[in-house]
Amino acid sequence: MIGTDEQIAKWKHEKTIGIIGLGDMGLLYATRFSKAGWRVICCDRPEFYEELKEKYSSESFNVVENGTLVSRASDYIIYSVEAENIENIVKMYGAASKVGSIVGGQTSCKNAEINAFEKYLPSDCEIVSVHSLHGPKVNTEGQPLVLINHRTKSQESFDLVESLMSCLKSQHVYLSYEEHDKITADTQAVTHAAFLSMGVAWYKIRIYPWTLGVNKWHGSLENVKVNISLRIYSNKWHVYAGLALTNPAAHKQITQYAKSATELFTLFVEGKKDELTKRLQVAKDFVFGNHNGLLLLHDLALDDYSLSKHEKGEDNEVIPNSHLSLLAIVDSWYQLGIDPYDHMICSTPLFRIFLGVSEYLFLTDGLLEQTIDAAINVPEFRADDMEFVIAARSWSNIVSFGNFELYKRQFEEVQQFFTPMFPEANAIGNEMIKTILEHSKSKNL
| 301 and 251 assigned to the same domain | yes
Please say which residue of 134, 160, 175 terminates a domain.
Answer: 175
Same domain, 49 and 114: yes
* Model pTM score: 0.83
Out of 175, 204, 222, a domain closes at 175
Q: Which of 146-155, 240-249, 301-310 has the highest mean pLDDT?
A: 146-155
Residue-wise pLDDT for 35-79, tens only, equals: 999 999 999 999 999 999 999 999 999 999 999 999 999 999 999
Same domain? 310 vs 437: yes
Answer yes or no: do 267 and 372 share one domain. yes
CB atoms within 10 A of CB 1: 9
Residue 419 confidence (pLDDT) above 60:
yes
Q: Which domain holds residue 402?
A: 179-442
Q: For residues 101 and 141, state if they share a domain.
A: yes
Same domain, 260 and 382: yes
Q: For the residues of 150-190, what is the DSSP string, one character each?
A: EE-SSHHHHHHHHHHHGGG--EEEE--HHHHHHHHIIIIIH
Q: Are 92 and 192 in a shared domain?
A: no
The total number of structural domains in the chain stands at: 2
Kindly state whether residues 164 and 185 are assigned to the same domain: no
pLDDT higher at 295 or 58? 58
Residues sharing a CB contact under 8 Å with residue 191, sequence separation 6 or more, in sequence order: 329, 348, 350, 351, 354
Same domain? 152 vs 205:
no
Type of residue at 438: E
The amino acid that residue 170 corresponds to is: S
pLDDT at 309: 57
Taking residues 303-311, what's their average pLDDT?
A: 57
Statement: residue 215 has pLDDT above 80 = no
